[in-house]
Amino acid sequence: MSPKPGPHLGMAVLCERVLQEKDGVLSIIRAIDRFTITLSGQNVPMQLPQGQIAVTLVIMLKSGDARGRHTLTIWPELPSGERLPKTQMPVLFEGEDRGVNAILNIGLPITQEGVYWFEVILDDSQILTRVPLRVLYQPMQSSAAQG
């Protein structure tokens, strides 16, 4: 069996942040696949209030036989199956072990609990992977202090 021509997925991960050194090396800080929203106090809503969380999506691709300019698309999907707007970016593959690192800072609107998916697509046709993020809500009611 001959290997696929590429590009090849090296990594696709959600994290809190990423450091990119001068030599191009990436450090992934706090890789996550689950995010728990905890609210406490009096009159905390039992249903998840709408809000937004900040995450960073890191995608590392290696060229293989792929060469030239291509389009990388990130297409988020809510737990309900509804799609959010796509993010597209041009990438350039130089071949062999040369690669592309795509780093996206995302302000994700949170409207429901469940698994949010980030579909990674090349040239609007090739699904490279899907990255999940489970969002959980934990309301913690506390009663007023008695005097």
Residue at token pair 């489970």: 134
Confidence of residue 31 (pLDDT cuts 50, 70, 90): very high
Domain ranges of the chain: 8-141
| Pairing, β 34-41 against β 126-141 | parallel
Architecture of the 8-141 domain: Sandwich (2.60)
pLDDT at 98: 86
- What pLDDT digit, counting tens, does each position of 100-115 carry? 999 999 999 998 999 9
pLDDT at 140: 86
Q: Is the pLDDT of residue 147 over 50?
A: no
Range 99-127 burial, b when 16+ CB lie within 10 A, else e: bbbbebebebebbeeeebbbbbbbeeeee
For residues 10 and 4, the model is more confident at 10
135 by Cβ neighbours in 10 Å (0-12 / 13-18 / 19+) ranks as buried
What are the strands, taking DSSP E only, across 42-125?
51-64, 68-77, 87-93, 96-110, 114-122
For residues 123 and 6, the model is more confident at 123
For residues 89 and 45, the model is more confident at 89
The rounded percent of the chain whose pLDDT value lies above 90 is 65
Q: Is the pLDDT of residue 1 over 60?
A: no
pLDDT at 80: 96
Question: pLDDT averaged over the chain?
Answer: 90
Q: Is the pLDDT of residue 17 over 60?
A: yes
- What pLDDT digit, counting tens, does each position of 116-141 carry? 999 999 998 889 999 999 999 998 87
| Both tokens assigned to 53 | 């969380």
Taking the CB of residue 82, how many other CB atoms lie within 10 A of it? 10
